[in-house]
């Protein structure tokens, strides 16, 4: 789907005035964060370029995997990247997907996204989309994905734009607190379930906020019934949720069907990752290769 057709369909929330402001905003929001590892400028707000760079998912599902390669979970001298891994501040709030700097990162779902930068997350992208209808028990829950430590972003800062599932949002990097030499490049990916579109758009993904919402609990129950239990799929730790946060690998495995097979990372990163099978179990499919068909039937 082209960018323009997306705009047509989403005219109700992408007000024309916002488009009219694009030209001046391009030049007011382009400053790099200054925290990067020497990559290109933080902002390349040529939004129509998103559709040109869009991956064509080879398999279908409500959501899509976020990388074109799979080198598993970061495991280097500075720590481990699995969900709820120990951290000096408590626990890891997402997963760290090891990948070389410059690897494209894709939108996990169709929704709206914007870019930004901060001292700890480096260059980040915030993506919001509805929870797939088959997993909604009540209300209007929305997913809030957070991509951090990016080398570059293809989205404007501080302004929501529509994105399609599989669109290229930016590239893997080492910005923010991943800049240390001992930390290998990776995508830090978080998934929070919020009770409304407004709450998902306002979500800041701050580590010191561990509040929960009923919709996050309901999402876990629905996914458990529709995907985890039928396929004997579970993290060996048993930890799927942390307050309103959810394990992104589990959600993407249940809701997408295009994860590349795990392969060891190329040198010099080959020492720095663990395969998914170290952390997850499944009955009937190989968690490193990914399922052969969509686990969530009927969506
Ligand atoms: Zn991380």
| pTM exceeds 0.85 | no
Q: What does each C-alpha distance from 224 to 134, 209, 217, 230 come to in angstroms? A: 12, 25, 11, 8
Q: Tokens 């598993």 correspond to what residue?
A: 72
For residues 265 and 227, give the distance between their C-alpha atoms in angstroms, rounded to a whole number: 29
First-to-last C-alpha distance (Å) of the chain: 20
- pLDDT (0 to 100) of residue 81: 94
Residue 261, number of CB atoms within 10 A of its CB:
10
Q: What is the pLDDT of residue 21?
A: 33
Residues with Cβ < 8 Å from 144, sequence gap 6 or more?
126, 127, 128, 190, 191, 192, 193, 194, 200, 203, 205
- pLDDT (tens digit, 9 = 90+) per residue, 221-265? 999 999 999 999 999 999 999 999 999 999 999 999 899 999 999
How many angstroms does the Cα of residue 225 sit away from the middle of ligand 1?
Answer: 28
How many A from CA of 60 to the centre of ligand 1?
A: 27
Rounded to 10°, the helix 248-255/214-223 angle is 50
Tell me what percent of the residues of the chain surpass a pLDDT of 90: 71
Measured in Å, residue 100 CA sits from the centre of ligand 1 at 15
Residues 6+ positions from 202 with CB-CB distance below 8 Å: none
Q: What is the pLDDT of residue 257?
A: 84
Q: What is the pLDDT of residue 99?
A: 97
CA 93 – ligand 1 centroid, Å: 7
Give Cβ neighbours of residue 49 (< 8 Å, ≥ 6 apart): 154
Task: Compute, in angstroms, the gap from residue 148 CA to the centroid of ligand 1.
Answer: 8
Domain 3-281 in CATH 2.70.70.10: yes
Count the neighbouring beta carbons within 10 Å of the beta carbon of residue 297.
10
pLDDT tens track of the chain, all 299 residues? Answer: 444 344 344 443 333 333 333 332 232 222 223 223 333 333 333 444 444 455 655 457 899 999 999 999 999 988 899 999 988 888 999 999 999 999 999 999 999 999 999 999 999 999 999 999 999 988 999 999 999 999 999 999 989 999 999 999 999 999 999 999 999 999 999 999 999 999 999 999 998 899 999 999 999 999 999 999 999 999 999 999 999 999 999 999 999 989 999 999 999 999 999 999 999 999 989 999 999 888 986 54
Q: Judge whether 92 and 84 are in contact, CB under 8 Å.
A: yes
d(C-alpha 116, C-alpha 58), whole Å? 30
Q: Which of 121, 134, 131 is closest to 199 using CA atoms? A: 131
Cα-to-centroid distance, 13 and ligand 1 (Å): 32
pLDDT of 25 reads 28
CA distance 159 to 222: 32
Span from the CA of 189 to the centroid of ligand 1 (angstroms): 7
Distance 185 CA to ligand 1 centre (A): 10
Handedness of CA 56, 168, 192, 173 (dihedral sign): positive
pLDDT, position 131: 98
Question: How far does residue 207's CA lie from ligand 1's centre (Å)?
Answer: 11
pLDDT, position 59: 57
C-beta of residue 85 within 8 angstroms of C-beta of residue 179: no
Which pLDDT score, from 0 to 100, does residue 284 have?
87
């Amino acid at each position: 789907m082209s960018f323009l057709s997306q705009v047509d369909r989403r005219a109700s929330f992408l007000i024309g005035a916002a488009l009219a402001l694009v030209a001046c905003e391009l030049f007011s929001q382009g400053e790099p964060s200054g925290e990067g590892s020497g990559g290109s400028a933080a902002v390349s707000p040529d939004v129509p370029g998103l559709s040109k760079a869009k991956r064509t998912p080879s398999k279908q599902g409500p959501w899509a995997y976020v990388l074109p390669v799979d080198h598993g979970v970061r495991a280097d001298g500075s720590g481990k990247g699995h969900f709820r891994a120990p951290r000096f501040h408590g626990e890891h709030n997402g997963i760290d997907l090891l990948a070389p700097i410059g690897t494209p990162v894709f939108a996990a779902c169709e929704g709206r996204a914007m870019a930004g930068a901060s001292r700890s997350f480096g260059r980040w992208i915030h993506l919001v989309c509805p929870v797939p209808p088959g997993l909604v028990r009540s209300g209007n829950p929305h997913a809030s994905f957070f991509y951090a430590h990016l080398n570059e972003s293809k989205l404007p800062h501080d302004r929501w734009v529509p994105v399609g599932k599989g669109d290229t949002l930016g590239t893997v990097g080492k910005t923010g607190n991943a800049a240390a030499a001992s930390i290998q490049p990776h995508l830090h990916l978080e998934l929070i379930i919020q009770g409304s579109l407004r709450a998902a758009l306002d979500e800041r993904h701050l580590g010191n906020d561990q509040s929960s919402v009923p919709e996050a609990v309901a999402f876990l129950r629905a996914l458990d019934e529709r995907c985890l239990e039928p396929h004997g799929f579970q993290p060996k730790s048993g930890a799927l949720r942390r307050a309103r946060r959810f394990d992104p690998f589990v959600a993407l495995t249940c809701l997408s069907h295009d994860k590349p097979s795990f392969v060891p990372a190329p040198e010099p990163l080959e020492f720095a990752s663990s395969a998914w099978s170290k952390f997850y179990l499944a009955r009937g499919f190989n968690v490193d290769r990914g399922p052969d068909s969509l686990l969530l039937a009927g969506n």
